[in-house]
Chains A and B, each alone.
Chain A
C-alpha cells in the first residue's frame, strides 16, 4: 500500500489544492465521469478543498447505475429458471428491477452467485455441467476485456452450459449524450483513468474539438484527482480545449492494444438503453455473430414485459450532472442504500450512495 500512500500524502494534497485556488479566477463546472472518482472525491473531501467557484458534477460513469431496468428484469427472469446459475459482480445484486432485485430472487430460491471475474463463472459452468451458468456482464470498457476473454475461452472449449447476458456500455457516447443535452452545464471532463488505460485517449479528441470542451484522463487517488482538476482548470482559464493525460502511470495515448483487439473480436458496437439517459446510439457492446451461441438473450428468448423506471427517482438528472443527489426529494428519506429507488443509491460507486455514505447526517 505504499504506492497508494504516496498519492494520499497530506502535504502533496494540500499543495495541489492551493495551486488550484491560485489558478481559478472564474466559476467552472467540472464533471468526473467515473463512479470510482465520485466515490474518492466525496470520501476524501476533495470537493471541500476547492475554491467555492469551482463545482464538481458527478457523471454517468457507474456501470451498475446505468444498467437499465429492462436488463435487470431480464436477469431476474433468467435467474428464476430452475436450471440456471446466475453469476454477477457483487453490487449488481441489490440493483432494483421493477419488482425485486437479484438478492430478493436469491432469497426466493434462485441460484444467484457473486463472482469477481467472469472466468470464475466459466469455472462454475465446467464444474456443474448439468446447470446453465449465465454471467450478467455489465460495465464499461474496463470490465469488457475480461468478459471477452471468458467468451473466447468458452468458444474454444465448446462448453455448452455457459452464456452471457450482456449489458456493456461505452464512455465516449455517454459524454456526447451529456454534452448534447440542452440543460448541459459541464465546462470540462475528468475522463475515467481505467477506461483510458484500455482504450487510450484518441476517442476523446473529436469530442473535445466538436464541443470545445477540455478532457483530462485522470486517476483515482486524491493527488490524481487534484492534479487532473488543476490541468483542466488551467485549460479552461486559458481558453484551451485539449485532451490531456494526468494518469500517465497507467494511460498511454494508444491504450492497451491487446485488450482492444480482444474486444473487437468478440463484441460489436450496438445501440444501448441507459438507465436515466434513455437509448444512446452506438453506446453499447453486443456479442458478434460468431459468439451468438453464448448470448443468453437468444438462449432464453422469452422474457418479461418492459417496465418503467420509478417516477420519483431522479437518477437521470443526477447522472447527467443537472442535479446533485441531495436535490432529489427522496434522497435519504424514501431512498436509502437499504431501500434504493434508483441505481445510483445502490452501487458503492453511485453518486447518491456516495453522498449518503459520506455526506448525510448519520
Chain B
C-alpha cells in the first residue's frame, strides 16, 4: 500500500497528463496504481473498505434491493451532468423505485485505450460527489481496458444494493383503479441537454439535464406513510413509454391531462424544432408516482419539501380497463384524447 495520505488526489503518477493504456486493465502494477491513486481516494477516502474481489455487506432484518445498469451516454459530459453522476444516480434511482433506501454501489469501468486520464478523473470525482449527495457508498469495482477504437472513452456499469423496509410494497401489480398519478417535475430536460451537445446536432441552449437522485423523495413518501402503490423513474422513452408499460403490466387504463404535465418553454421549443414529443424524451431525475387517491395531497406535500421533486404535480388518474390490455390516454387542452403508446425506442430528429 502507498504511504501517501489517502483522500488526496495528488498522486505520484502523472495521471493528469498521459492517457489510459492497455496496461491499466492488465491486472498489474499500472492497474493497481490507478485504483490506489484514483478510485480508492475518491470512493473510500477514509480507507474503511476491504480490498477483495467482492464486497461483503452487513446483513439486516430488511429486504435487500439489488440492481445493475450500464452507462454508455454520448457525449460523456453534457450540461447538468456526465456519465459518472449518471451512473450513480441512475442506479440509485432504480433502487429507490423499489421503495428501497440505496446503500452500496459497485462501479465497473470499461476504458478505451487512449482515453485521457484527466477526463477519467473528472468522471470519477463526479461519481464520488454524486455518491455523497445520494448517501451511497461505492464499495467494489472493476476496470478493463479495450483497444483504441473498440470503446467510447469510458463505459460504466454500476450495480447497487439497497434496504427496503418490510412494510413498503411498491410494484406495478399494486396499481388500482382510482389511484392518483403524480409526476415529480417538468419533463424532457435530459434528452434535450444531451442532444444539444451531440456531434452533428449542436445547438445553443441553456437547458441542463434534470439528472438527480430520487431516493430522498421516496424516503419522504415512505415516512409520510401514504399508501404508495408504484414508482417508476422516467428514463429513456420518457413518461409516455413508462406509463404505457405500467398500464400493460398492471392491466389498468391511465388518463393524463396534458395541461398538467410541465415542460419548460426551452425544452418545448427544442422539441418543436426537432419534431420530438416531450412526453417521449428522456429524463434522469424524474419519476411517476402512483398513490391511493385519499393520500394524493399528502404525497404531493411530501414531494414538495424535497428539492429534487419540488415541481411535483398531479397529472392524472387510473381507471378500470375498458377492454383488452391496459392503455394510456392523454387529454389535450382542447378536450381531445389520444393514446400514448410505447415509444419506438429511438427518437430521431425529423427532416423539416
Contacts and interface: CB of A to CB of B under 8 A. Distances in A.
A217 to B, nearest CB: 16
Interface stretch (B77-85, B126-134, B264-272, B282-290): B264-272
Interface string B242-280: 001001000000000000000001001100101110000
Contacts of B56: none
Nearest to B266: A1
A247 B327 CA distance: 37
Interface string B312-352: 00000000000011111100111111111110111011111
Interface in A322-362: 337-338, 347-349, 356-362
Nearest to A17: B334
B350 A347 contact: yes
Interface stretch (A8-16, A250-258, A274-282): A8-16
Interface residues of B toward A: which range? 35 or more
Interface in A104-124: 113-116, 120, 124
Interface in A32-49: 36, 39, 42-45, 48-49
A195 to B, nearest CB: 9
B252 to A, nearest CB: 12
A89 B200 CA distance: 10
A289 B344 CA distance: 42
A1 B268 contact: yes
Contact of A64 (B247, B274, B351): B351
B341 A49 contact: no
Nearest to B268: A1
A64 B351 CA distance: 8
A334 to B, nearest CB: 16
A8 B348 contact: no
A65 B328 CA distance: 28
A116 B200 contact: yes
Given A91-B350, A142-B352, A348-B350, A362 B344 contact: no
A362 B339 contact: yes
Nearest to B323: A361
Q: Which of B268, B335, B349, B351 has the most CB of A within 10 A?
A: B351
Contacts of A138: 351
A162 B326 CA distance: 50
Contacts of A140: 352
Nearest to A332: B341
A59 interface: no
Contacts of B63: none
Given A4-B272, A116-B201, A139 B333 contact: no
Contacts of B244: 362
A93 interface: yes
Contact of A358 (B333, B338, B352): B338
A138 B327 CA distance: 36
Contact of A349 (B268, B339, B350): B350
B351 A143 contact: yes
Contact of A49 (B325, B327, B334, B345): B334
Interface in A77-125: 87, 89-94, 103, 113-116, 120, 124
Contact of B349 (A42, A89, A338, A362): A89
A222 interface: yes
B352 A113 contact: no
A321 interface: no
B336 A362 contact: no
A91 B351 CA distance: 6
Contact of A222 (B265, B276, B327, B334): B334
Given A1-B265, A116-B200, A143-B352, A10 B333 contact: yes
A359 B348 contact: no
Interface string B202-221: 01000000000000000000
A90 B334 contact: no
Given A8-B333, A113-B200, A45 B348 contact: no
Contact of A362 (B201, B247, B268): B247
Contacts of A36: 352
A338 B237 CA distance: 14
Contacts of B269: 1
Contacts of B200: 87, 113-116, 120, 124
A14 B325 CA distance: 33
A194 interface: yes
Contacts of B329: 362
Contact of A91 (B265, B324, B334, B349): B349
Contacts of A94: 346, 348
B175 to A, nearest CB: 15
Contacts of A60: none
A140 B352 CA distance: 9
A361 B352 contact: no
B280 to A, nearest CB: 9
26 contacts: A10-B335, A14-B334, A42-B338, A48-B336, A49-B336, A63-B351, A92-B351, A103-B346, A114-B201, A116-B200, A116-B201, A116-B203, A116-B349, A124-B200, A139-B351, A143-B351, A348-B276, A348-B350, A349-B275, A359-B339, A361-B324, A361-B327, A362-B325, A362-B328, A362-B339, A362-B342
Interface of B: 199-201, 203, 244, 247, 265, 268-269, 272, 274-276, 324-329, 332-342, 344-346, 348-352
Nearest 8 Cβ contacts at the A-B interface: A45-B336, A90-B348, A362-B327, A90-B349, A89-B351, A1-B265, A115-B200, A362-B339
